[in-house]
Structure 1
């Protein structure tokens, strides 16, 4: 005669009782009443013909038979929970996290993310932007696009575009101050600064003036802002002249929102670098390849 097959509804109950050492605590964790948990264990004991718990005034401990069955129940629960998590992941759209700064997020990625959705409609891109994004940030990400110099990054990083800046302002501001005919008048005008640490990683107005062999002290009309998006908005609003980063400001130049009003300066060892995360999934690799293709275009 075949052995009677056990009803498996007890597995999670026994796992919780054995792990917590209390029928009451197990009931609380599982959202059941204490009598319901006690009844489940008692029915299981009747099916097996042996005691699984040693009941005392301070709680319940597993008997030798209970310990053996608890080990099997714990392994089964862990395996079933892992399988359930895997199935839920399969049913969800894959997500790729892109960690970067506000400048790249606002001016490069956001205008193009809809294009990536058209190419990979089954993948969601979560853009995690931070004003503190730097090469030394230890963030959990699938892909990071960070600004810095070559020594800041490992061998796996790819240079998207080198640092190249030039003065920009609104067309109205340029016309009002005659900058098309005499760019050197910038020295007399309000400047828009991206606030930084005492030792910024990127070009500042001091670097640009030094490259132009010009001297210029901070003026009362100058304006310091803590994100590059605010710097660009202030330039569009006729508040002064800003440094425009090639690669970020191209769209505003192309549509005439801003105009270039002076020579550029650049350095090939610095710029925006793309760094894959520690484990590159297939969707993350798709995003990396797509970004590289877009930059090359």
Structure 2
């Protein structure tokens, strides 16, 4: 069997091709690699000769990949990215024992941080870095090793594994519950201050959608306070200012501590769920595998 080196075209030609394909320009590829445009053209021409197939269509002032070029571009991009990731990991002087986790502010504050010390006690050698932001990171870009998302489980930038679904119901402080007395039906809720918040995620449920599930029309101008974020809405509810929507997975600790209480038995189940998402093209670190397994174990405990 021929050696791998004999099967592969020259690395210099593949490097020139990968840059030209990614940048869609021989000129820009030459600038990036610090060589002349003529050198790029020669390398790509030599590669086309070896393969016996054109890789680019030379158009007026631009180039365009052929079907063969697209196939090779995909392979070289994946291979070069994997090499770059491995080199970066080795250069850090560790075996990849730092794990960067991305999650929304609400999930981080109410679910992840109260439990994270349990993981650290089990795996003291793994350093955790938590990126807390509501804008979703592109997991394939290398900004995080994994992200925890709420949604359908289908995202173009990563592979998702199911963690748990959720349930939504009205909550308030014990003091507020005593003030309003018994509330039996969703229709009764609109008499009281409903705490609202800005919703940018279309998969997130607000008061309008929750009440509509019980054929109740939400008031045009709810009496309660309006917040920018869900975390703020929960803190307003804790202070006794009104009724918020409680996502069970996020507020279960506050309910267990009796800092918040359910106001009615009415609830809805979410159509979507929480998933842990990892990059498609990057090799998982050992620490990432251990963190994902821990997430699954903790999720099963909650379901049990």
TM normalised by structure 1 equals: 0.64
Is the alpha carbon distance of 1:133 and 1:288 closer, same or farther for their aligned partners in structure 2, counting shifts above 3 Å? Answer: same
User: Residue 273 of structure 2 corresponds to which residue in structure 1?
Assistant: 271
Is the alpha carbon distance of 1:85 and 1:290 closer, same or farther for their aligned partners in structure 2, counting shifts above 3 Å? Answer: closer
Is the alpha carbon distance of 1:135 and 1:219 closer, same or farther for their aligned partners in structure 2, counting shifts above 3 Å? Answer: farther
Q: Distance in 1 between matches of 2:88 and 2:164?
A: 43
Q: Is the 8 A contact 1:170 1:238 kept in 2?
A: yes
Aligned length: 213
User: Residue 289 of structure 1 corresponds to which residue in structure 2?
Assistant: 293
Q: Is the 8 A contact 2:97 2:285 kept in 1?
A: no
Q: What stretches of structure 2 of length at least 5 have no aligned partner?
A: 1-85
SS at 1:132 equivalent: coil
Superposed, which structure 2 residues align to 1:109-188 within 5 Å?
A: 109-133=112-136, 140-152=143-155, 156-180=159-183, 184-188=187-191
Is the alpha carbon distance of 1:218 and 1:159 closer, same or farther for their aligned partners in structure 2, counting shifts above 3 Å? Answer: farther
Superposed, which structure 2 residues align to 1:1-297 within 5 Å?
A: 86=90, 89-90=93-94, 94-133=97-136, 140-152=143-155, 156-180=159-183, 184-197=187-200, 200-219=202-221, 221-262=223-264, 263-268=266-271, 270-277=272-279, 278-297=282-301
RMSD between aligned residues: 2.8
Q: Is the 8 A contact 1:100 1:145 kept in 2?
A: yes
Q: Distance in 2 between matches of 1:140 and 1:295?
A: 25
User: Residue 27 of structure 2 corresponds to which residue in structure 1?
Assistant: none
Q: Distance in 2 between matches of 1:140 and 1:85?
A: 14
Note the C-alpha offset of 1:139. 6.0
Q: Distance in 2 between matches of 1:172 and 1:137?
A: 46
Note the C-alpha offset of 1:154. 7.5
Q: Is the 8 A contact 1:157 1:275 kept in 2?
A: yes
User: Residue 5 of structure 1 corresponds to which residue in structure 2?
Assistant: none
Q: Distance in 1 between matches of 2:289 and 2:248?
A: 25
Note the C-alpha offset of 1:288. 0.5
Note the C-alpha offset of 1:136. 8.8
Is the alpha carbon distance of 1:287 and 1:164 closer, same or farther for their aligned partners in structure 2, counting shifts above 3 Å? Answer: same
Is the alpha carbon distance of 1:119 and 1:136 closer, same or farther for their aligned partners in structure 2, counting shifts above 3 Å? Answer: closer
